[in-house]
Amino acid sequence: MKALTTTLAGLTIGVLGTNFASAQVTENTLQAKDGFYVGGNYGYLKVDGQDDFDDDNDMWQGLAGYRFNRYLAVEGSMIDFGDYGSDLSNADTDGYTAAVKGMLPLSEHFAVFVKGGQLWWESDYSVADLSGDFDDESLFIGAGVNYAISRNLSINAEYTIYDTELDAEELGENFGDRDFETDLKQASLGVEYRF
C-alpha cells in the first residue's frame, strides 16, 4: 500500500512539475476547456486473484468531474466490474471512486494524464456453500491519453489498477485467517463531454 501511495505521488508530481510553459501548447488549445464534464468508459477487466478468483471480463464506468484548468481536475465515478471467478468461487463487484487527475497537454489535440484516489467497493460473493457480501475501500492509480475532437468532446484510453483485498475472516470460520488478494486491472476506452 505504501508503494502504491509513493508511486501515485511521484507520478502526480512528475506530471504537474513538467514545464507548463511549452511553446507548442497555447492557452487556446482544445485541451484548455475548464468546467464540468461527464463521460463513460467501456473496457476489459483482468482480475489477478488467488485460486478461482482469477478471471477477465467486460466492465463499464460512468464518470463526472470538474476541470480547474488544463492541468488539474477532480473526478468521481461509478464502476460495474461485473462477475468474475468460477463455479466454485465467484464475485460480482461494483464501486464508486473519487480521484485527483493531473493532465499535461502535448499538442492542440493530445494530452496525457495520471489519476489516483479512493475506491469504495462492494462484492456479492459465493465461495463453496458460503455466500454473502463484503465491502471495503482501496487505493487506485491510473494513466492514459486524451484526444480532443473539439473543445467539448474528447476520447480517451486509460489503464487503471485497483488494489483490493477480500478478507476471508468475513466469509466464515471455515477459511481461517486467509485473505483473497485481488488486483483489478482495467484497460478501457471512453468518451468525455465538457460543458
pTM for this entry = 0.76
How many structural domains are present in the chain?
1
- pLDDT averaged over consecutive 10-residue blocks of the chain (195 residues)? 53 48 55 91 82 72 96 96 75 92 94 97 78 84 96 96 68 50 86 95
Q: What is the distance between the alpha carbons of residues 107 and 7, in angstroms, rounded to a whole number?
A: 26
User: What pLDDT sits at residue 47?
Assistant: 78
The boundaries of the domain holding residue 171 are 2-194
3-state secondary structure of 73: strand
CATH number at residue 126: 2.40.160.20
What DSSP letter does each residue of 158-192 carry, written as one string?
Answer: EEEEEEEEEEGGGT-GGGTT-EEEEEEEEEEEEEE
CA–CA distance from 104 to each of 52, 107, 125 (Å)? Answer: 40, 9, 40
